[in-house]
Amino acid sequence: MCGIAGLVRFNGLRPDERATGAVMAATLSHRGPDDQGLYHDTCASLGHARLSIIDLDTGHQPLSNEDGSVWVVFNGEIYNHVALADQLQARGHTLRTHCDTEVIVHLYEDHGEAFVEHLNGMFAIALWDARRRKIVLVRDRLGVKPLYWHHDGHRLVFGSELKALLAAGNLDPRTDPRAVVDYLTFGHVPAPRTIFENLHKLEPGFLAVGTASGITLRRYWDIPIGNADNGPLSPGEADRWQAEFAALFEDAVRIRLMADVPLGAFLSGGVDSSAVVAAMKRRGASPLLTHTVGFDEHDHDERGPARVVADHLATDHHEVLVRPDAAWAARFLARHFDEPFGDSSAVPTYYLSRVARERVKVALAGDGGDEMLAGYRRYRFDLAEAALRSVCPAWLRRPAAGLAGWLYPKGDWLPRPLRAKRTLQNLACDDATAHLRSVALHAGTLPTLLLRPEVLDLTGGYDPFTRGRDLFAGYPAPDQLGRLLYLDMKTLLPDDMLTKVDRASMAVGLEVRVPLLDYRLVELAARMPARLKLDGSRGKVVLRDIVAGWLGTQVADRPKKGFDVPVHGWFRGPLRQLAADTLADPHSRCHEWLQPAAVRRLLNEHQRGFATHGHVLWTMLAFELWARQYAGTSAAPSPSAIAQSRSVGAAAPVMPMGVPA
């Protein structure tokens, strides 16, 4: 893993821009602490910060082809690079290293921009074709690795994180009011937008080609359309699908075991991470190093289930009870995300990464299974709601359900079957909007509740659900579940889950690999009959059945449990003072955007126990801490300016986790 950055001025670099790539890459040293590299010519300055994983001695970047006409900086891993190198050499190419980076430039020589179609891996790539004065930016199919870019008509800057773009200078970044609405709706800013106007995320499965004529964006891969036959499975059909999925999953794990440094895995005891570790065992990983963090709060402690799997597989298991310094963690993470990020599970993800990094440099993880194979409970609720919508005409359903939903009490204190407010409100919506409401914070109502009226005016009536509805409508899956999974694979997975893992792990120089997101598995899962993903209340059916054969039903049927922290309690304890010093401070930066009275009301209701607003408060705290990172710069969020411009066998150690030694 690495950090990449660069600047291209198609009519020629200014003298002071030749080292800009290195200046930008220096901001990414946490992603690549092992080596720094720079290449520049008359038009391009490419920088690289390297985390050495494969071919430790000769994998320096930037790297070129034989005659130096094509240069590349690359973040990630190409898992099929050995086979690709053999094919390239058979066609007459000369390769000077054994690293995966070198195959990229030679594939480009043979295939042009279609080189990316030959890659199996996680990657963000910037390839400079010096003869043609053309830059090609590419992001992997599922969005495991990030890539940001900006083009002002004369120069293009790019980087693995926004901080690299800002280091290029002369950007004058301004906060996008629509991105603030997105953030308060989803807890993150969805691609292709960033929190800053005119700074963009390259979407997963896309490439961007830049020349003197401008920038062209093109999708090179998408999730295939599913199987139209969703009737009863024929005899033996489920077994055939399961065998194919298991074989491909083991191969996805096998190719991700390639490394010249210590390698291990995250293990929570859930079905996804347990499947990954079991497959590592089956593919001969030795030693098999696994890592788990636990918390004092029982509901947030995964050490017990993880230990069951570790004992079964005889792994070299390492567990730590962590007592996070929540206030320090909140500030630390704000520095690493570069834009507001409201998913509090970034905290345990960071601590798990930090614990694993003490023993390994690469860790395999189980991310992606829920979105690919319908692991979240909400899918069955969404399908039930969709069935109800289908039997009631919209002209009757929308006003009746809408009024009933408005009148029905919120009732968090009621038994779950009686908490019908959101269901009634969802019945008044179309299928896509209802699903988006189910993944949104506060059902997507926070912008209206919190934003100042003048900020809402700046958005011009912007609807944060529009992109999701377009994605949903544009994917002609033969079944409703297929469309829901597609939507989450395109939004929630890359913009929240994978962003969280990338920033939290790269903050400590740890490479995380996600075999469940091998694109071949994703394509296979998309073609599977829906009932092999969700059957009644049982999600991830095909994977659970595989794990039952490997580890038994106790592991296979363990209920879904989120990787979460006790954020509600934190705001009544360790975060109470920080919240008072930030959210309740009359001089808070967020008050330029949010209504101070609304912020204080939510904080007071929560801290007095009148309501539970922990996740909303975390979202606002993350926004405030992000804003303070940019105070005094042109990137400071000011709407007025916009208007005018953690070894089993012994007792697990307790680790108070604050500032690293």
pLDDT in tens, 438-467: 999 888 899 999 999 999 999 999 999 999
**What is the Cβ-side half-sphere exposure of residue 387, based on CA atoms within 13 angstroms?**
7
Determine the pLDDT at residue 251.
98
| Residues 375 and 515 grouped into a single domain | yes
| Residues 456 and 359 grouped into a single domain | yes
pLDDT in tens, 163-220: 999 999 988 889 999 999 999 999 999 999 999 999 999 999 999 999 999 999 999 9
Determine the pLDDT at residue 234.
86
Q: Per-residue pLDDT for 632 more than 50?
A: no
Q: Per-residue pLDDT for 159 more than 70?
A: yes
pLDDT in tens, 45-77: 999 998 777 666 667 889 999 999 999 999 999
Amino acid at 462: Y
Kindly name the residue from 2, 99, 429, 590 that is annotated as catalytic: 2
Spatial distance between the Cα atoms of 97 and 356, rounded to a whole number of angstroms: 29
Determine the pLDDT at residue 15.
94
Q: Which of 176, 201, 219 is the last residue of a domain?
A: 219
| Residues 206 and 246 grouped into a single domain | no
Contact 657, 324 (CB under 8 A): yes
pLDDT in tens, 501-538: 999 999 999 999 999 999 999 999 999 999 999 999 99
| Residues 471 and 566 grouped into a single domain | yes
- The model's pTM: 0.92
Q: Residue 297 — very low, low, confident or very high, per pLDDT cuts 50/70/90?
A: confident
Helix (H, G, I), strand (E, B) or coil at 211: strand
Query: DSSP states of 485-544 as a string?
Result: HHHHHHTHIIIIIIHHHHHHHHTTT-EEE-GGG-HHHHHHHHHS-GGGTEETTEESHHHH
Determine the pLDDT at residue 653.
44
| Residues 212 and 230 grouped into a single domain | no
| Residues 172 and 310 grouped into a single domain | no
Q: Residue 422 — very low, low, confident or very high, per pLDDT cuts 50/70/90?
A: low
Determine the pLDDT at residue 647.
32
Q: Residue 402 — very low, low, confident or very high, per pLDDT cuts 50/70/90?
A: low
Report the 3 state secondary structure along 317-372.
EEEEEEEECHHHHHHHHHHHHCCCCCCCCHHHHHHHHHHHHCCCCEEECCCCHHHH
- Compare 216 and 558 and report the one with higher pLDDT: 216
Pairing of strands 362-364, 511-513: parallel
Q: Per-residue pLDDT for 344 more than 90?
A: yes
Cα–Cα distances (Å) from 29 to 52, 107, 123, 158, 260, in that order, read 12, 28, 18, 16, 20
| Residues 418 and 540 grouped into a single domain | yes
Torsion sign over Cα 527, 531, 535, 538 = negative
Q: Helix 271-282 to helix 541-551 angle, to the nearest 10 degrees?
A: 50
State how many domains the chain has.
2
**Which structural domain range is residue 21 located in?**
2-219
Determine the pLDDT at residue 636.
47
Spatial distance between the Cα atoms of 150 and 145, rounded to a whole number of angstroms: 17
Determine the pLDDT at residue 638.
52
- Residue 125: CATH number of its domain: 3.60.20.10
Active site residue 99: no
Q: Which of 171, 195, 219 is the last residue of a domain?
A: 219
Q: Which of 219, 239, 258 is the last residue of a domain?
A: 219
| Residues 192 and 253 grouped into a single domain | no
Determine the pLDDT at residue 604.
95
pLDDT in tens, 374-400: 999 999 999 998 888 877 766 555 665
Amino acid at 504: A
| Residues 205 and 238 grouped into a single domain | no
Determine the pLDDT at residue 417.
47
Q: Per-residue pLDDT for 20 more than 90?
A: yes
pLDDT in tens, 108-126: 999 999 999 999 999 999 9
Pairing of strands 214-219, 511-513: unpaired
Lowest mean pLDDT among 260-269, 425-434, 537-546, 645-654: 645-654
| Residues 503 and 368 grouped into a single domain | yes
Spatial distance between the Cα atoms of 531 and 246, rounded to a whole number of angstroms: 17
- Residue 346: CATH number of its domain: 3.40.50.620
Tokens found for residue 620: 């606002």
| Residues 239 and 214 grouped into a single domain | no
| Residues 249 and 209 grouped into a single domain | no
- Compare 422 and 656 and report the one with higher pLDDT: 422
